Structure 1
Amino acid sequence: MLKTFLKENRSWILLPAAVILLNFGTFWLYRMEMEPFIYGTVLSGVVCVLVIGLRFRKFVNGCRKREQVISSVKPDAPDVFGLNPEVFLGEEESRTERDYREMLRCLRNRALQQEQQFLEEREDMEDYYTKWVHQIKTPISVMRLALREEDTPENRRLLSELFQIEQYVEMVLHYIRLDSSGNDLMIQEYALDDLIRESIRKFSSLFINRNVRLEYRKVEGVRVTDKKYFACVLEQILSNAIKYTDTYVRIEADDRGRIRIEDDGPGIGASDIPRIFEKGYTGCNGRQEMKSSGLGLYLCSRAAKKISVEIDVDSEPGRGTVFSLKLPEQKKILD
């Protein structure tokens, strides 16, 4: 900081030195006594040191205030656009400071206006898609009832495709909820077995139509979580397991909130595992079979973080995949 101060205030240091040298030259040329020169130089030096000391103090205070401003406008600051420049910059002291202060005011006001406009547009978009999701469910329900009137292989195939459409509609709703600024968590105590069986029942038609064997045993115990976000996590993993498996899906759980979902599908390559939760990443299997949108596991990961569920993946090509979930203790999720 001292180096910066000396660099920015070198004129205040060089000017007195130049004056002293000029006076010394004058005294020396005219062969005058040096005592008055020395006395005046000492007094001038004391005054200069005091002035420079005061300026250094002001410089340090200004640097600290600017550091506060910088820390307040970082992305992780709680209120970026609510920052008032007057709080940190103090009183105006020069025309330059007034101009910079006015620029800050204008930028702050513009940022506040843009933030408000963004929030309004986002709210309108959320309202539109939420209404669209609920409205599209009506024709889906009508089509499902119509297809169930006659049990034929073709109708069962169409029902399976209709279920996939409904899953994508649900994915849109989850996407909106996860990006919403509000907090719609409903944390309650649920029987772990009921949560798992509800998701299994939802996919029962896919298990049957694709001739996939389900292995699951009842589990005791309760867990505190949000039902819809937990369903988003478990159902996305189940959907992938059914989509890629060859013969079976095995679900194991215990009363400590650990759930293990295993399939005997093609597996996931070691290079793909670190990226499967990235938005839009489909991996080798998704690119080869054109079955993946790259959004399912991304939404699954975000929903898991929202309810503090830990996800671990163990897989090798040709040996299937195991997704392990660890539901948090009650205290952790409430925190």
Structure 2
Amino acid sequence: MRINFLRYVGKELFITIVLLLLFLYTFYVYSLPFAPFLVVLAITVFIFCLYLFYRLITFKNEISQKEYIDNLQHEMHEIRNEQLQYKKEVEAYFLTWVHQMKTPITASKLLLSRNEEGMANRVRQEIIQIDNYTNLALSYLKLLNHKADMVMNPVKIDDLIRPLIKKYSIQFIDNNTRIHYEKVEETVITDARWSSIMIEQILNNALKYARGKDIWIYFDREDNILSIKDNGIGISKADLPKIFDQGYSGYNGRLNERSSGIGLFIVKRISSHLSHNIDVSSTLGEGSIFKIQFPRNNGF
């Protein structure tokens, strides 16, 4: 800063020194007494010091303004990049979302055009999928906009699980998928709405890949861990590290036309927001198990 300031006042300093040297030269050439020169020198130095003090304040203000402007420009650049990234993510998601929505809508139209036994239940299944995709889209937008208000309260595990089992009961029956769950009275500290969305996506995922098989939901009271296990087709070792990545559906997803790779991405985002650690283990051909670690109740 010192060097920059000297450059800032360098011109004035040079002119002042030159003028003083001219005065000195004049006094020397004409053999004038040096006492007046010393008075002029003292006055000049005093005035110049006051001027330098003023210029120093001005210099600091200009530096502060420049740094402030640079910071603003940097922030604007970051905001612009975030907006572009946000736009790309939203466009990419909703292209996938529209494709997903077409499947149950088209299936519903075909079912309604036929007069087959059990048609009503099958149409209800498609409506549930449409509802799930719609809720997923709303949750995705809230998470992207950082408007996901989360309120941590004591919530019964059973109050999270029972409504979801009831909601997907038609799929369990029609797909011959057996659900194993015993009522859990324990209470955990969480946001009921967002935890429900997270659990629903894991359960919905299990329903896709464990058709005609079994799903277990149980709670470890000692470690506060909720587990959702199935004996479906499982996940390959190559896909396992990437299943929470946005848009990644893996080999199983390519086999299932309804897989978008968004559900588990949102699960991971919600678990991060809630500080609920989520872990998954799986063996291809044997099934998968998702574990959600809830915080300690601390006396609740």
Q: Which TM bucket (shorter chain)?
A: 0.5 to 0.7
2:130 is the alignment partner of 1:165: yes
* Distance in 2 (alpha carbons) for counterparts of 1:65 and 1:320: 61
* Distance in 2 (alpha carbons) for counterparts of 1:69 and 1:231: 45
Relative distance call for 1:25 and 1:207 in structure 2 (3 A) is farther
Listed as ranges, the matches of 1:179-218 within 5 Å are 188-218=153-183
8 A contact 1:187–1:226 mirrored in 2: yes
Deviation for aligned residue 1:70? 7.3
Q: Could you list the per-position Cα deviations for residues 172-230 of structure 1 after superposition, in whole angstroms to 9, with x for gaps in the alignment?
A: 34345556787765655332123223222322332333333433344331124333222
Relative distance call for 1:165 and 1:41 in structure 2 (3 A) is same
User: Does the residue aligned with 2:229 lie in a helix, a strand or coil?
Assistant: strand
8 A contact 2:217–2:229 mirrored in 1: yes
2:1 is the alignment partner of 1:7: no
8 A contact 1:276–1:283 mirrored in 2: no
8 A contact 1:276–1:282 mirrored in 2: no
Aligned residues with identical type, % of pairs: 30
Relative distance call for 1:297 and 1:13 in structure 2 (3 A) is farther
* Distance in 2 (alpha carbons) for counterparts of 1:168 and 1:46: 78
- Give the TM-score taking structure 2 as reference length: 0.65
Q: Among residues 184, 204, 218, which one is paired with 1:239 in the alignment?
A: 204
Question: Aligned residues, how many?
Answer: 262
Deviation for aligned residue 1:52? 1.1
2:241 is the alignment partner of 1:273: yes
* Distance in 2 (alpha carbons) for counterparts of 1:225 and 1:174: 17
Q: Could you list the per-position Cα deviations for residues 278-335 of structure 1 after superposition, in whole angstroms to 9, with x for gaps in the alignment?
A: 3x4444543454432233233333444454433233456666443221223567xxxx
Amino acid at match of 2:193: K
* Distance in 2 (alpha carbons) for counterparts of 1:267 and 1:201: 27
* Distance in 1 (alpha carbons) for counterparts of 2:238 and 2:42: 76
* Distance in 2 (alpha carbons) for counterparts of 1:68 and 1:309: 39
8 A contact 1:160–1:209 mirrored in 2: no
2:221 is the alignment partner of 1:252: no
Which residue is 1:322 aligned to?
289
Amino acid at match of 2:7: K
2:230 is the alignment partner of 1:263: yes
* Distance in 1 (alpha carbons) for counterparts of 2:251 and 2:33: 89
Listed as ranges, the matches of 1:81-230 within 5 Å are 152=117, 156-175=121-140, 178=143, 188-230=153-195
2:263 is the alignment partner of 1:299: no
8 A contact 1:219–1:254 mirrored in 2: no
* Distance in 2 (alpha carbons) for counterparts of 1:23 and 1:283: 86
* Distance in 1 (alpha carbons) for counterparts of 2:33 and 2:234: 96
8 A contact 1:212–1:248 mirrored in 2: yes
8 A contact 1:220–1:254 mirrored in 2: no
Relative distance call for 1:289 and 1:192 in structure 2 (3 A) is closer
Q: Could you list the per-position Cα deviations for residues 130-157 of structure 1 after superposition, in whole angstroms to 9, with x for gaps in the alignment?
A: xxxxxxxxxx9xx8xx98xx98366554
Relative distance call for 1:270 and 1:23 in structure 2 (3 A) is farther
Deviation for aligned residue 1:48? 1.9
User: Does the residue aligned with 1:262 lie in a helix, a strand or coil?
Assistant: strand
User: Does the residue aligned with 1:45 lie in a helix, a strand or coil?
Assistant: helix
Unaligned stretches of 5+ in structure 2?
76-104
- Give the TM-score taking structure 1 as reference length: 0.60
* Distance in 1 (alpha carbons) for counterparts of 2:30 and 2:252: 96
Deviation for aligned residue 1:165? 2.1
Amino acid at match of 1:273: P
